[in-house]
A and B are shown apart, each in its own frame.
Chain A
Amino acid sequence: MSGQGNDWSEWGELWRDQPAVDVSQLARAASRKRWRMRVIVASELLMSAVACAQCLRFMSITTGRWQVWSFATLVFMLVLQWLYLHVRRGTWQASGDDVRSLLQLSLQRAVAGVRLARINLWSTAVWVVLTVLVSVPELEPSHWQADPKLKWTLVLQCAVNGPLILAIIVFCLWYIRRQRARIARIGELLRPDPT
Protein backbone atom coordinates (compact mmCIF):
# COMPACT_ATOMS: atom_id res chain seq x y z
CA MET A 1 0.00 0.00 0.00
CA SER A 2 1.26 3.52 -0.75
CA GLY A 3 2.27 5.99 1.96
CA GLN A 4 -0.75 8.07 1.03
CA GLY A 5 -3.06 5.10 1.51
CA ASN A 6 -1.41 4.34 4.85
CA ASP A 7 -2.14 7.85 6.10
CA TRP A 8 -5.81 7.61 5.26
CA SER A 9 -6.22 4.10 6.66
CA GLU A 10 -4.38 5.01 9.86
CA TRP A 11 -6.40 8.19 10.32
CA GLY A 12 -9.55 6.28 9.37
CA GLU A 13 -9.00 3.74 12.15
CA LEU A 14 -8.37 6.52 14.63
CA TRP A 15 -11.40 8.44 13.38
CA ARG A 16 -13.79 5.53 13.68
CA ASP A 17 -12.61 4.73 17.20
CA GLN A 18 -14.85 7.31 18.82
CA PRO A 19 -16.94 6.97 22.00
CA ALA A 20 -20.08 4.88 21.55
CA VAL A 21 -23.34 6.77 21.16
CA ASP A 22 -26.23 6.17 23.55
CA VAL A 23 -28.62 5.08 20.79
CA SER A 24 -31.67 4.79 23.07
CA GLN A 25 -31.22 8.34 24.28
CA LEU A 26 -30.68 9.55 20.72
CA ALA A 27 -33.81 7.73 19.53
CA ARG A 28 -35.84 9.29 22.37
CA ALA A 29 -34.50 12.78 21.59
CA ALA A 30 -35.24 12.33 17.86
CA SER A 31 -38.74 11.10 18.72
CA ARG A 32 -39.36 14.20 20.89
CA LYS A 33 -38.22 16.42 18.02
CA ARG A 34 -40.51 14.55 15.61
CA TRP A 35 -43.50 15.20 17.85
CA ARG A 36 -42.51 18.82 18.39
CA MET A 37 -42.36 19.28 14.61
CA ARG A 38 -45.81 17.70 14.18
CA VAL A 39 -47.26 19.92 16.95
CA ILE A 40 -45.79 23.06 15.31
CA VAL A 41 -47.30 22.13 11.92
CA ALA A 42 -50.67 21.34 13.54
CA SER A 43 -50.59 24.66 15.47
CA GLU A 44 -49.86 26.63 12.30
CA LEU A 45 -52.74 24.94 10.49
CA LEU A 46 -55.06 25.49 13.45
CA MET A 47 -54.18 29.20 13.68
CA SER A 48 -54.77 29.65 9.96
CA ALA A 49 -58.11 27.84 10.21
CA VAL A 50 -59.19 30.01 13.16
CA ALA A 51 -58.20 33.21 11.31
CA CYS A 52 -60.13 32.14 8.19
CA ALA A 53 -63.14 31.15 10.30
CA GLN A 54 -63.09 34.60 11.94
CA CYS A 55 -63.13 36.27 8.52
CA LEU A 56 -66.01 34.07 7.35
CA ARG A 57 -67.94 34.82 10.55
CA PHE A 58 -67.33 38.55 10.13
CA MET A 59 -68.51 38.30 6.51
CA SER A 60 -71.73 36.63 7.62
CA ILE A 61 -72.59 39.21 10.33
CA THR A 62 -71.67 42.39 8.41
CA THR A 63 -72.89 44.11 5.28
CA GLY A 64 -71.61 46.64 2.75
CA ARG A 65 -68.03 47.86 2.99
CA TRP A 66 -67.20 45.71 6.07
CA GLN A 67 -68.34 42.60 4.25
CA VAL A 68 -66.08 43.55 1.35
CA TRP A 69 -63.25 44.20 3.82
CA SER A 70 -63.75 40.74 5.42
CA PHE A 71 -63.67 39.13 2.02
CA ALA A 72 -60.50 41.04 1.06
CA THR A 73 -58.85 40.05 4.35
CA LEU A 74 -59.77 36.41 3.76
CA VAL A 75 -58.27 36.50 0.26
CA PHE A 76 -55.18 38.28 1.62
CA MET A 77 -54.67 35.58 4.28
CA LEU A 78 -55.19 32.73 1.82
CA VAL A 79 -52.70 34.25 -0.65
CA LEU A 80 -50.13 34.68 2.13
CA GLN A 81 -50.68 31.08 3.26
CA TRP A 82 -50.17 29.85 -0.28
CA LEU A 83 -46.96 31.88 -0.64
CA TYR A 84 -45.79 30.58 2.75
CA LEU A 85 -46.37 26.96 1.67
CA HIS A 86 -44.80 27.69 -1.73
CA VAL A 87 -41.55 28.84 -0.09
CA ARG A 88 -41.54 25.90 2.31
CA ARG A 89 -42.37 23.29 -0.34
CA GLY A 90 -40.22 20.21 -0.11
CA THR A 91 -38.90 21.04 3.34
CA TRP A 92 -40.91 18.36 5.11
CA GLN A 93 -39.02 15.55 3.40
CA ALA A 94 -35.32 16.03 4.21
CA SER A 95 -33.14 16.04 1.15
CA GLY A 96 -31.44 12.81 0.15
CA ASP A 97 -29.83 14.61 -2.80
CA ASP A 98 -26.16 15.47 -2.90
CA VAL A 99 -24.84 18.32 -0.78
CA ARG A 100 -24.28 20.71 -3.70
CA SER A 101 -27.87 20.28 -4.91
CA LEU A 102 -29.15 20.90 -1.39
CA LEU A 103 -27.09 24.10 -1.11
CA GLN A 104 -28.42 25.31 -4.46
CA LEU A 105 -31.96 24.54 -3.31
CA SER A 106 -31.29 26.34 -0.01
CA LEU A 107 -30.06 29.35 -1.99
CA GLN A 108 -33.26 29.39 -4.08
CA ARG A 109 -35.35 29.11 -0.91
CA ALA A 110 -33.46 31.94 0.78
CA VAL A 111 -33.97 34.20 -2.26
CA ALA A 112 -37.66 33.23 -2.34
CA GLY A 113 -37.84 33.87 1.42
CA VAL A 114 -36.56 37.44 0.98
CA ARG A 115 -39.09 37.99 -1.80
CA LEU A 116 -41.90 36.62 0.37
CA ALA A 117 -40.91 38.79 3.33
CA ARG A 118 -40.97 41.88 1.09
CA ILE A 119 -44.41 40.89 -0.26
CA ASN A 120 -45.53 40.39 3.34
CA LEU A 121 -44.32 43.87 4.33
CA TRP A 122 -45.99 45.61 1.39
CA SER A 123 -49.22 43.65 1.66
CA THR A 124 -49.41 44.41 5.39
CA ALA A 125 -49.02 48.11 4.59
CA VAL A 126 -51.74 47.86 1.92
CA TRP A 127 -54.02 46.00 4.35
CA VAL A 128 -53.54 48.65 7.05
CA VAL A 129 -54.28 51.49 4.59
CA LEU A 130 -57.33 49.62 3.26
CA THR A 131 -58.60 49.02 6.80
CA VAL A 132 -58.15 52.66 7.76
CA LEU A 133 -59.92 53.80 4.58
CA VAL A 134 -62.81 51.39 5.15
CA SER A 135 -63.19 52.53 8.74
CA VAL A 136 -62.98 56.30 8.11
CA PRO A 137 -66.64 56.89 9.14
CA GLU A 138 -66.13 54.99 12.42
CA LEU A 139 -62.91 56.94 13.11
CA GLU A 140 -64.73 60.27 13.09
CA PRO A 141 -64.52 61.52 16.73
CA SER A 142 -68.14 62.57 16.70
CA HIS A 143 -69.08 59.01 15.79
CA TRP A 144 -67.10 57.03 18.38
CA GLN A 145 -67.49 59.60 21.17
CA ALA A 146 -71.23 59.09 21.00
CA ASP A 147 -70.99 55.30 20.90
CA PRO A 148 -69.18 53.68 23.90
CA LYS A 149 -69.37 50.24 22.27
CA LEU A 150 -67.64 51.51 19.11
CA LYS A 151 -65.06 53.33 21.21
CA TRP A 152 -64.29 50.14 23.10
CA THR A 153 -64.04 48.19 19.82
CA LEU A 154 -61.60 50.73 18.33
CA VAL A 155 -59.41 50.74 21.46
CA LEU A 156 -59.39 46.93 21.44
CA GLN A 157 -58.51 46.78 17.73
CA CYS A 158 -55.65 49.27 18.18
CA ALA A 159 -54.37 47.44 21.28
CA VAL A 160 -54.40 44.02 19.55
CA ASN A 161 -53.55 44.86 15.93
CA GLY A 162 -51.01 47.63 16.61
CA PRO A 163 -48.44 45.41 18.38
CA LEU A 164 -49.27 42.57 15.96
CA ILE A 165 -48.50 44.70 12.89
CA LEU A 166 -45.36 46.05 14.55
CA ALA A 167 -44.27 42.48 15.33
CA ILE A 168 -44.87 41.45 11.68
CA ILE A 169 -42.75 44.37 10.42
CA VAL A 170 -39.90 43.66 12.88
CA PHE A 171 -40.02 39.94 12.07
CA CYS A 172 -39.95 40.55 8.30
CA LEU A 173 -36.98 42.93 8.57
CA TRP A 174 -35.11 40.47 10.80
CA TYR A 175 -35.97 37.61 8.45
CA ILE A 176 -34.73 39.52 5.37
CA ARG A 177 -31.44 40.29 7.14
CA ARG A 178 -31.04 36.67 8.20
CA GLN A 179 -31.81 35.32 4.71
CA ARG A 180 -29.31 37.76 3.16
CA ALA A 181 -26.63 36.44 5.52
CA ARG A 182 -27.62 32.88 4.52
CA ILE A 183 -27.39 33.77 0.82
CA ALA A 184 -23.88 35.17 1.34
CA ARG A 185 -22.81 32.10 3.30
CA ILE A 186 -24.24 29.62 0.78
CA GLY A 187 -22.53 31.58 -2.01
CA GLU A 188 -19.23 31.04 -0.21
CA LEU A 189 -19.91 27.32 0.14
CA LEU A 190 -20.86 26.97 -3.52
CA ARG A 191 -17.76 28.76 -4.78
CA PRO A 192 -15.73 26.38 -6.98
CA ASP A 193 -12.48 24.90 -5.67
CA PRO A 194 -9.52 27.21 -6.39
CA THR A 195 -7.18 25.66 -8.92
Chain B
Amino acid sequence: MTRDDGQDRSFDDVLRQHAGLLSRIAASYEADPALRDDLLQDMALALWRALPNWRGEAPLRAFVARVAHNRGATHVVGQMRSPVGGALSDDWIEPRHGPDGYAELEERRVRLQDAVRRLPLSQRQAVTLALEGFSHAEIADALGITANSVGVRLNRAKAALKSVLGEDA
Protein backbone atom coordinates (compact mmCIF):
# COMPACT_ATOMS: atom_id res chain seq x y z
CA MET B 1 0.00 0.00 0.00
CA THR B 2 1.43 3.39 -0.99
CA ARG B 3 1.46 6.43 1.29
CA ASP B 4 -1.28 8.05 -0.86
CA ASP B 5 -3.46 4.94 -0.59
CA GLY B 6 -3.08 5.00 3.18
CA GLN B 7 -3.85 8.69 3.30
CA ASP B 8 -6.91 8.26 1.08
CA ARG B 9 -8.18 5.34 3.17
CA SER B 10 -7.76 7.33 6.37
CA PHE B 11 -9.55 10.25 4.68
CA ASP B 12 -12.43 8.00 3.66
CA ASP B 13 -12.83 6.88 7.29
CA VAL B 14 -12.79 10.47 8.55
CA LEU B 15 -15.25 11.50 5.84
CA ARG B 16 -17.58 8.62 6.74
CA GLN B 17 -17.53 9.65 10.41
CA HIS B 18 -18.04 13.37 9.80
CA ALA B 19 -20.18 13.53 6.65
CA GLY B 20 -23.23 14.59 8.67
CA LEU B 21 -21.33 17.40 10.39
CA LEU B 22 -19.99 18.65 7.04
CA SER B 23 -23.42 18.45 5.46
CA ARG B 24 -25.04 20.48 8.24
CA ILE B 25 -22.33 23.13 8.11
CA ALA B 26 -22.68 23.31 4.30
CA ALA B 27 -26.44 23.75 4.74
CA SER B 28 -25.81 26.74 7.02
CA TYR B 29 -23.92 28.48 4.21
CA GLU B 30 -25.92 27.65 1.10
CA ALA B 31 -29.68 27.33 0.53
CA ASP B 32 -29.59 26.23 -3.10
CA PRO B 33 -29.45 22.38 -3.13
CA ALA B 34 -27.10 22.12 -6.12
CA LEU B 35 -24.69 24.76 -4.79
CA ARG B 36 -24.93 23.18 -1.33
CA ASP B 37 -23.89 19.79 -2.74
CA ASP B 38 -21.01 21.47 -4.54
CA LEU B 39 -19.97 23.25 -1.35
CA LEU B 40 -20.16 19.96 0.55
CA GLN B 41 -17.84 18.36 -2.01
CA ASP B 42 -15.46 21.33 -1.70
CA MET B 43 -15.50 20.91 2.08
CA ALA B 44 -14.65 17.21 1.64
CA LEU B 45 -11.82 18.21 -0.70
CA ALA B 46 -10.54 20.84 1.76
CA LEU B 47 -10.60 18.20 4.49
CA TRP B 48 -8.54 15.84 2.33
CA ARG B 49 -5.98 18.61 1.83
CA ALA B 50 -5.95 19.71 5.47
CA LEU B 51 -5.96 16.30 7.13
CA PRO B 52 -2.18 15.70 6.89
CA ASN B 53 -1.77 18.87 9.03
CA TRP B 54 -3.85 17.51 11.89
CA ARG B 55 -1.50 16.68 14.76
CA GLY B 56 -4.11 15.79 17.36
CA GLU B 57 -3.74 19.05 19.32
CA ALA B 58 -7.51 19.56 18.92
CA PRO B 59 -10.17 16.83 18.75
CA LEU B 60 -10.63 15.58 15.17
CA ARG B 61 -14.30 16.66 15.15
CA ALA B 62 -13.31 20.24 16.07
CA PHE B 63 -10.62 20.20 13.36
CA VAL B 64 -13.11 18.98 10.75
CA ALA B 65 -15.62 21.68 11.77
CA ARG B 66 -12.92 24.34 11.54
CA VAL B 67 -11.84 23.24 8.05
CA ALA B 68 -15.50 23.16 6.96
CA HIS B 69 -16.12 26.66 8.29
CA ASN B 70 -12.97 27.92 6.60
CA ARG B 71 -14.25 26.58 3.29
CA GLY B 72 -17.69 28.01 4.06
CA ALA B 73 -16.19 31.45 4.76
CA THR B 74 -14.29 31.25 1.46
CA HIS B 75 -17.59 30.36 -0.22
CA VAL B 76 -19.22 33.48 1.28
CA VAL B 77 -16.31 35.65 0.17
CA GLY B 78 -16.62 34.24 -3.34
CA GLN B 79 -20.36 34.83 -3.48
CA MET B 80 -20.91 38.22 -5.00
CA ARG B 81 -24.65 37.98 -4.55
CA SER B 82 -26.32 37.76 -1.16
CA PRO B 83 -25.78 34.22 0.15
CA VAL B 84 -29.00 34.08 2.12
CA GLY B 85 -32.06 32.66 0.41
CA GLY B 86 -35.42 34.38 0.13
CA ALA B 87 -38.69 32.96 1.33
CA LEU B 88 -38.81 29.44 2.75
CA SER B 89 -39.17 27.01 -0.12
CA ASP B 90 -40.68 23.55 -0.11
CA ASP B 91 -37.74 22.40 -2.23
CA TRP B 92 -35.54 22.50 0.84
CA ILE B 93 -37.66 19.96 2.67
CA GLU B 94 -36.16 16.56 2.00
CA PRO B 95 -38.85 13.87 1.62
CA ARG B 96 -38.54 11.70 4.71
CA HIS B 97 -41.18 9.32 6.00
CA GLY B 98 -41.91 8.50 9.59
CA PRO B 99 -44.61 8.19 12.22
CA ASP B 100 -47.35 10.78 12.76
CA GLY B 101 -46.02 14.13 13.87
CA TYR B 102 -42.84 13.60 11.90
CA ALA B 103 -43.87 16.10 9.23
CA GLU B 104 -44.24 18.77 11.88
CA LEU B 105 -40.79 17.96 13.28
CA GLU B 106 -39.36 18.07 9.78
CA GLU B 107 -40.90 21.47 9.14
CA ARG B 108 -39.47 22.81 12.41
CA ARG B 109 -36.05 21.48 11.43
CA VAL B 110 -36.18 23.19 8.05
CA ARG B 111 -37.39 26.42 9.64
CA LEU B 112 -34.47 26.28 12.08
CA GLN B 113 -32.03 25.68 9.23
CA ASP B 114 -33.52 28.60 7.33
CA ALA B 115 -33.38 30.84 10.40
CA VAL B 116 -29.72 29.95 11.02
CA ARG B 117 -28.88 30.74 7.41
CA ARG B 118 -30.38 34.21 7.79
CA LEU B 119 -28.04 35.11 10.65
CA PRO B 120 -25.00 37.32 9.97
CA LEU B 121 -21.99 35.15 9.21
CA SER B 122 -20.20 35.82 12.51
CA GLN B 123 -23.26 34.67 14.49
CA ARG B 124 -24.06 31.83 12.10
CA GLN B 125 -20.65 30.23 12.53
CA ALA B 126 -20.89 30.37 16.31
CA VAL B 127 -24.47 29.03 16.25
CA THR B 128 -23.75 26.06 13.99
CA LEU B 129 -20.91 25.00 16.27
CA ALA B 130 -23.07 25.48 19.38
CA LEU B 131 -25.83 23.40 17.78
CA GLU B 132 -23.25 20.68 17.11
CA GLY B 133 -22.52 20.62 20.84
CA PHE B 134 -19.16 22.40 20.90
CA SER B 135 -18.24 24.32 24.07
CA HIS B 136 -17.68 28.09 24.10
CA ALA B 137 -13.92 27.50 24.38
CA GLU B 138 -13.92 25.15 21.37
CA ILE B 139 -16.00 27.61 19.34
CA ALA B 140 -13.63 30.45 20.29
CA ASP B 141 -10.67 28.31 19.22
CA ALA B 142 -12.27 27.40 15.88
CA LEU B 143 -13.26 30.96 15.00
CA GLY B 144 -10.19 32.74 16.39
CA ILE B 145 -12.19 34.93 18.80
CA THR B 146 -12.48 35.15 22.59
CA ALA B 147 -14.93 33.02 24.59
CA ASN B 148 -16.55 36.28 25.67
CA SER B 149 -17.24 37.18 22.03
CA VAL B 150 -18.73 33.73 21.53
CA GLY B 151 -21.15 34.42 24.40
CA VAL B 152 -22.12 37.78 22.90
CA ARG B 153 -22.67 36.30 19.45
CA LEU B 154 -24.72 33.39 20.78
CA ASN B 155 -26.93 35.67 22.88
CA ARG B 156 -27.64 37.91 19.90
CA ALA B 157 -28.21 34.91 17.66
CA LYS B 158 -30.60 33.38 20.16
CA ALA B 159 -32.77 36.48 20.20
CA ALA B 160 -32.76 36.57 16.38
CA LEU B 161 -33.58 32.86 16.13
CA LYS B 162 -36.47 33.17 18.55
CA SER B 163 -37.81 36.10 16.59
CA VAL B 164 -37.59 34.30 13.24
CA LEU B 165 -38.93 31.02 14.62
CA GLY B 166 -41.79 32.88 16.28
CA GLU B 167 -40.95 31.67 19.76
CA ASP B 168 -41.29 33.77 22.92
CA ALA B 169 -38.13 35.71 23.69
Contacts and interface: CB of A to CB of B under 8 A. Distances in A.
Interface string B10-31: 0010011001101110010000
Interface in B1-47: 8, 12, 15-16, 19-20, 22-24, 27, 37, 40-42, 44-47
A100 B50 contact: no
Contacts of A92: 49
Give the dominant DSSP class at A's interface.
Answer: helix
Interface residues of B, number: 64
Contacts of B161: 11
Contacts of B96: 19
A17 B52 contact: no
Nearest to B95: A19
5 contacts: A93-B52, A93-B53, A99-B66, A102-B73, A185-B76
- Nearest 10 CB-CB pairings of A with B: A98-B144, A100-B144, A30-B44, A94-B46, A94-B49, A15-B131, A94-B50, A21-B19, A19-B94, A29-B41
Given A18-B109, A18-B113, A193-B122, 14 more contacts: A4-B158, A15-B113, A15-B132, A16-B131, A19-B94, A27-B44, A33-B44, A93-B53, A94-B46, A96-B70, A100-B143, A106-B73, A181-B80, A185-B77
